[in-house]
Amino acid sequence: MARDYVDIGNTSADPGAEQPAHNMSSWSIPLPGPNGGSYGGIAPGSCRAIWSSQNDNSTTAFITLDFAAGTETLWLKHLEGIANDAFDVFVNGVRVYQHFENSQVERWLVHFVLPPVPGGFPAGQQVVEFVATGPAWDSFDLFGQVCFDEVWIGLEEPVAIQEGSWGEVKALFR
């Protein structure tokens, strides 16, 4: 069971309203949106970019997650697209993860982030910051860059993830 879960692509309202407890800010509109795009085959309105022309060209987006005391794992489901989708993740200003672009194929990836220090992430409500670090690509104005679908806090021990098994892994956390 996930301790805290954010469906970044939730299309029920604007980025800050559908999940007010998570204080989502500076995310794009739900994607794929009016400009189309395949976004790795995800359903329309199922993800958001941290950097796009729809969020004032900010390279940074935020959510708030509720961490428990002790060691927990932060999970990220993001698109490795045809743009340079490199990004960093910070928890309360401390960089906890770096993703470097390594593909020219659109595919959704799930990564787990272990706490950077003994004793785990700080307990309670923590600001999680996502920062795009790659250069803008030729179609940036149409599609944005660095897309996320879901982010959650889960088990201490990572679960083995095999390509194509996302549904099985997702079921473990709900």
Express each pLDDT in 126-139 by its tens digit: 999 999 999 998 99
Element (H, E) at 143: helix 140-143
- Provide the b/e sequence for 45-58 (b: ≥16 CB within 10 Å): ebbbbbbbebbeeb
Over residues 111-121, the mean pLDDT reads: 81
Does residue 146 surpass a pLDDT of 60?
yes
pLDDT greater than 90 at residue 2: no
Q: What is the phi-psi region of residue 107: left when phi exceeds 0, alpha when psi lies from -120 to 50, beta otherwise?
A: beta
φ, ψ of residue 54 to 5 degrees: the values are -80, -10
| Residue 71 pLDDT | 61
pLDDT of residue 53: 84
State how far the Cα of 12 lies from the Cα of 32, in Å rounded to an integer: 15
Residue 97, CA atoms < 13 Å, CB-side half-sphere:
21
Task: Assess whether pLDDT exceeds 50 at residue 99.
Answer: yes
Residues in the chain: 174
Q: Across-strand partners of 76?
A: 111, 151
Q: What is the pLDDT of residues 52-97, one digit of tens each?
A: 887 777 899 999 998 887 667 899 999 998 889 999 999 989 999 9
Tell me the pLDDT tens digit for each residue of 9-19.
Answer: 875 544 444 44
Q: Is 146 exposed, middle or buried (0-12, 13-18, 19+ CB in 10 A)?
A: buried
Place of tokens 């697209």: 81
> Tell me, what's the pLDDT at 16?
44
pLDDT at 173 over 60: no
- CA distance linking residue 10 with residue 45, whole number of Å: 7
Residue 174 confidence (pLDDT) above 50: no
In this prediction, residue 158 has a pLDDT band, given cuts at 50, 70 and 90, of: very low
Cα dihedral 156, 161, 166, 172, rounded to 10, equals: -30
Q: Cα 38 to the chain's mean position, in Å?
A: 18
Q: Which two tokens stand for residue 34?
A: 């009016």
> Which pLDDT tens digit goes with each residue over 13-46?
444 444 456 888 899 989 988 888 889 999 888 9
Question: What is the model's pLDDT at position 35?
Answer: 84
Which domains can be identified in the chain, with CATH numbers? 9-70+78-106+118-148 (2.60.120)
**77: nearest Cα among 6, 3, 156, 158:** 6
Contact 59, 132 (CB under 8 A): yes
